[in-house]
Amino acid sequence: MYKNLFFDFEGTIADSKKCSFITTKKSFLDYGLEEPSDNQVAYYMGIPIEKLFGLMSSVKLKLEESNELITLFRENYKKVETSYLEIYDNTLEQLEKLWKKAKLFVVLSKKTDLLKRSLKILGIKQLFFEVVGSDKVKEYKPSPDGILYILNKYNFYKKETIYIRDAVFDIQLAKSADVPSCAVAWGSHSREKLKLENPVSKLRIFINRDLRGS
């Protein structure tokens, strides 16, 4: 049994696709840019917003333009978050069970206060020992600084820690931090793509109750 469970949020705990689709498309259109496709938004979810829009934009964005677009996105996201952000089926029950056996953390590329707001909306903020956003580290994804921050702060053993995520980027991130990873199959990337990265477990994490590799 792993003692320290590091979760991603979007695509792993919460279904934020609708929020992201609506907000990203509206923000791009409001700013006079070409609207990205659903596939683009879904594929890049989880990448830091500071890099995300540059990857999706059909034109090169200046730093000032990128920052303005980010501000617009955050304003739009807050307007739809309470209506469209949802926790995946059975996730609350499974998190409550895991909370009794291990320390739970969230590691994400969003700002910490924004993530805490989302956790509070879903009624699960109290289950997490700490939330680590991009503002708590020097380098965010694909750097493993978020994982290393927690490991160093609490003197955790890597072999007792697992990073649970839905995207190939984060399985790669876990490898660079030298911690086990577990892929969930209901998020941004397909089971086939996830398998290619050889995570510890390819099962749905909440079905694999003891979090051991399969």
The predicted-structure confidence for 97-113, as pLDDT tens digits, reads as follows 999 999 999 998 888 99
Let me know whether 22 and 46 are in one domain.
yes
Q: Percent of the chain beyond pLDDT 70? A: 81
Q: CA 112: distance to chain centroid?
A: 12
In-domain check, residue 213:
no
Whether residue 209 is contained in a domain is answered as no
The reply to whether 214 falls in a domain is no
Is 205 among the domain residues? no
73 within some domain: yes
Kindly state whether residues 47 and 120 are assigned to the same domain: no
Domain, as residue range, for 28:
17-84
The pLDDT score that the predictor gives to residue 127 is: 97
Same domain for 178 and 130, yes or no, is: yes
- Greater confidence (206 vs 144) lies with 144
pTM: 0.80
The SS3 call for residue 158 is: helix
Structural domain ending residue among the three candidates 84, 100, 133? 84
The pLDDT of residue 193 is: 60
Co-location of 110 and 49 in the same domain: no
State how many domains the chain has. Answer: 2
Question: How far is Cα 88 from Cα 9, in angstroms, rounded to an integer?
Answer: 11
Same-domain status, 55 and 149: no
Q: What is the mean pLDDT of residues 124-141?
A: 90
3-class SS of residue 68: helix
Q: What is the CATH number of the domain that holds 34?
A: 1.10.150
Neighbours of 214 (CB within 10 A): 10
How many CA atoms within 13 Å lie on the side-chain side of 61? 22
Claim to verify: residue 108 and residue 182 sit in the same structural domain: yes
**CA 51 to each of CA 39, 44, 69, 98, 213: distance values in angstroms, whole numbers, following the listed order:** 17, 10, 12, 33, 32
Mean pLDDT of the chain: 83
User: Does residue 201 sit within a domain?
Assistant: no
pLDDT at 190 over 80: no
Domain boundary residue, one of 84, 113, 128: 84
Q: What is the pLDDT of residue 136?
A: 92
Q: What is the pLDDT of residue 189?
A: 56
pLDDT at 176: 75
Q: At residue 150, does pLDDT exceed 70?
A: yes
Span 168-177, pLDDT tens digits: 666 667 777 8
pLDDT digits (tens, 9 = 90+) for 62-91: 999 999 999 999 999 999 999 999 998 888
Instruction: Judge if 102 and 11 occupy the same domain.
Output: yes
What pLDDT does residue 130 have? Answer: 97
Query: 58 lies in a domain?
Result: yes
- What CATH number should be reported for the domain holding residue 168? 3.40.50.1000
Q: For residue 211, is pLDDT > 50? A: no
Provide the pLDDT confidence category of residue 120 given band limits of 50, 70 and 90: very high
The answer on 159 and 54 residing in a single domain is no
Is the domain of 23 the same as that of 63?
Answer: yes
**106 lies in the same domain as 170:** yes
